[in-house]
Amino acid sequence: MTAAILLLAAGASRRMRGADKLLQPVAGEALLRRQARAALATGVPVAVTLPPGAAGRRGALEGLSLRRVEVADAAEGMGASIRAGVAALPAEASGVLILPGDLPEIEAGDLAVMLARHAQAPGVVLRAAAQDGRPGHPVVFPARLLPALRRLSGDAGARLVLAGEAVVAVALPGERATTDLDTPEAWAEWRANTGL
């Protein structure tokens, strides 16, 4: 079995001051749908975490063949989202590629590169990096770390699980792995620079 992809989309977008960053248009479609389609293009199982309700996000995923995981305690933070999402993955998965939903430059080819590297070294933690070496996302966790991911809590994400691991960086083109837009101003600047 190959790794599965977990798309994290249960966050509150608090810094967007009322807007939902996962529904921002990127090249003509909602960011969340674009991310989900990129994940599905890899051919591996895909699960997406969602907060309770979230009609807009659910609508953005309409017609896509992926597993939707409602995170009842999403307000707890990213730990709850990872915990619930990993618990919903196929038991035979060789690992999980965790993809935050708010990386507008990540493409299907980037995910395919990460999964191919995982297939070559299934016991290693892989972390995407910008071309200049700055660590970013997504991150691939091997199967041996899935139990630890299922026990996460709080809003620190998987940092505690990464502690003590020999993480291997996988450079992606440009700043795809590190472009994370959390405010209306960041979105406006990014659009002005990219034309997307």
Q: Which distant-in-sequence residues (6+ apart) come within 8 Å of 46 by Cβ? A: 4, 5, 6, 7, 36, 39, 40, 66, 67
C-alpha to C-alpha distance for 127 and 24, rounded to whole angstroms: 26
pLDDT along the chain (196 residues), means of 10: 91 72 91 96 96 91 95 86 93 94 94 96 95 94 94 79 90 92 85 82
Which structural domain, as residue segments, surrounds residue 122? 4-194
pLDDT of residue 18: 62
Of all helices (H) and strands (E), which one includes residue 80?
Answer: helix 78-87
Question: How many domains are contained in the chain?
Answer: 1
DSSP 14: G
Query: Alpha-carbon torsion 8, 14, 20, 24, what sign?
Result: negative
Task: Tell me which residue has tokens 């749908």.
Answer: 33
CATH of the domain at 165: 3.90.550.10
pLDDT of residue 13: 66
Query: In 101-188, where do the E strands start and end?
Result: 126-129, 135-142, 168-171
pLDDT of residue 104: 93
Q: What's the angle, vertex CA 183, arms to CA 180 and CA 188, rounded to 5?
A: 90
Terminal-to-terminal C-alpha distance of the chain? 36
The Cβ of residue 129 has, within 10 Å, a number of other Cβ atoms equal to 21
Both tokens of residue 152? 């996460």
